[in-house]
């Protein structure tokens, strides 16, 4: 099935459905209790970037969070392809959402049937000026704590992230960065954070806790290919402010340079040399793995 570009179709529980007709049970655990996981990924020339890694992370989170049923990666990958074809999209952003479902959906059995939803929309590119001139980040007023079992997982319980991000936008900033109660740098609301210190690329450890980002992992690969030192390190706000360069990553923004943290300039307040190398290398990775635009 195919349609005019931009026409909205979704895959709900493995069934291709017009978006306006898709329905989720009022008893769904995602709706009632916020028990859900999601992945957002880039698609270029009809090819999802690192789909297998996204689905692997989702399954690992479901297992670590104690779900009794794990997402079916093969079926979800098929749903992604069907939705892209139905929507007629070549360059897109895809969201895969899985909730713990409900016992009613399973016919009253002891094991709930997961609710799965795959959606696609035309790609919305970030402003080119952000990459050319860099962006401003601020520090979130909220803490990121290891005591929260959802930390390090991409869950649908996203209100605190969105609230902090909206607060950053009200201040004219691009992103808000989270610290732990011990003052350790963690991550952004929608991104992982890296600093460059004396030509060493550093990022907070996964057990800070932070999300094990797919783009984050790609940066480690790219640094190795470029002969750059890249490793995890416990970082403070002082380390962030004293960094030669700072950049953010996620699967839609790729590598985004940060040139100010609040009113504090990073480096010479322009995207640094290593950040620019990684921006170019990431663009080449997308070209190589997705076949270009």
Residue of 271, 195, 269, 277 whose CA lies nearest to 237: 195
Task: State residue 292's pLDDT score.
Answer: 52
For residue 179, what are the CA distances in angstroms to 39, 138, 145, 199?
A: 23, 11, 8, 24
Task: State residue 6's pLDDT score.
Answer: 47
Task: State residue 103's pLDDT score.
Answer: 60
Task: State residue 7's pLDDT score.
Answer: 59
Cα separation, 258 vs 246, in Å, equals 5
Cα separation, 257 vs 273, in Å, equals 10
Cα separation, 247 vs 13, in Å, equals 37
pTM: 0.94
Residue length of the chain: 293
Cα separation, 75 vs 82, in Å, equals 11
Cα separation, 265 vs 263, in Å, equals 6
Task: State residue 102's pLDDT score.
Answer: 84
237-242 — which CB contacts under 8 Å span 24+ positions?
237/139, 237/179, 237/183, 237/185, 239/185, 239/195, 239/197, 239/202, 240/177, 240/185, 240/193, 240/195, 241/266, 242/197
- Mean pLDDT by runs of 10 across the 293 residues of the chain is 64 97 94 96 97 98 95 98 96 97 63 92 95 98 93 95 97 98 97 98 97 98 98 98 98 98 97 98 97 60
Give the CA diameter of the chain. 62
Task: State residue 112's pLDDT score.
Answer: 75
For residue 271, what are the CA distances in angstroms to 87, 224, 250, 277?
A: 37, 21, 17, 10
Instruction: Give every CB contact of residue 115 below 8 A, 6+ residues apart in sequence.
Output: 12, 13, 24, 25, 28, 30, 98, 99, 100, 101, 102, 105
Task: State residue 198's pLDDT score.
Answer: 96
Count CB neighbours of 84 within 10 A: 21
Beta pairing class for 15-18 and 9-12: antiparallel
What's the burial of 58, exposed, middle or buried (CB within 10 Å: 0-12/13-18/19+)? buried
- Outline where the chain has alpha helix (H): 29-33, 51-64, 73-87, 128-133, 159-170, 214-226, 237-242, 273-290
Domains of the chain: 9-122 (3.30.470.10), 128-290 (3.20.10.10)
Cα separation, 156 vs 150, in Å, equals 10
Percent of the chain at pLDDT above 90? 92
Task: State residue 105's pLDDT score.
Answer: 53
């Amino acid at each position: 099935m195919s349609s005019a570009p931009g026409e909205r179709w979704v895959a709900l529980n493995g069934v291709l459905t017009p978006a306006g007709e898709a329905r989720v049970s009022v008893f769904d655990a995602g709706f009632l209790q916020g028990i859900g996981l999601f992945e957002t990924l880039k698609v270029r020339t009809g090819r999802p970037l690192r789909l297998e890694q996204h689905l692997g992370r989702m399954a690992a989170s479901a297992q670590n969070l104690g779900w009794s049923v794990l997402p079916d990666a093969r079926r979800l990958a098929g749903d992604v392809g069907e939705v892209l074809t139905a929507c007629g999209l070549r360059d897109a952003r895809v969201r895969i959402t899985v909730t713990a479902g409900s016992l009613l959906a399973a016919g009253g059995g002891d094991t709930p049937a997961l609710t799965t939803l795959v959606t696609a929309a035309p790609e919305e590119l970030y402003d080119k000026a952000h990459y050319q001139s860099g962006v401003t980040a601020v520090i979130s007023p909220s803490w990121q704590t290891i005591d929260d079992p959802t930390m390090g997982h991409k869950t649908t319980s996203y209100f605190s992230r969105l609230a902090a991000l909206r607060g950053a936008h009200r201040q004219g900033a691009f992103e808000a960065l989270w610290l732990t109660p011990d003052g350790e740098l963690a991550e952004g609301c929608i991104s992982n954070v890296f600093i460059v210190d004396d030509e060493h690329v550093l990022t907070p450890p996964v057990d800070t806790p932070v999300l094990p980002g797919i783009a984050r992992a790609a940066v480690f690969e790219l640094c190795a290919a470029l002969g750059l030192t890249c490793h995890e390190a416990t970082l403070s706000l002082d380390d962030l402010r004293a960094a030669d360069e700072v950049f953010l990553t996620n699967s839609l923004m790729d590598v985004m340079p940060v040139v100010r943290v609040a009113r504090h300039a990073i480096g010479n307040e322009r995207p640094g040399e290593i950040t620019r190398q990684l921006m170019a290398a990431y663009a080449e990775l997308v070209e190589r793995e997705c076949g270009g635009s």
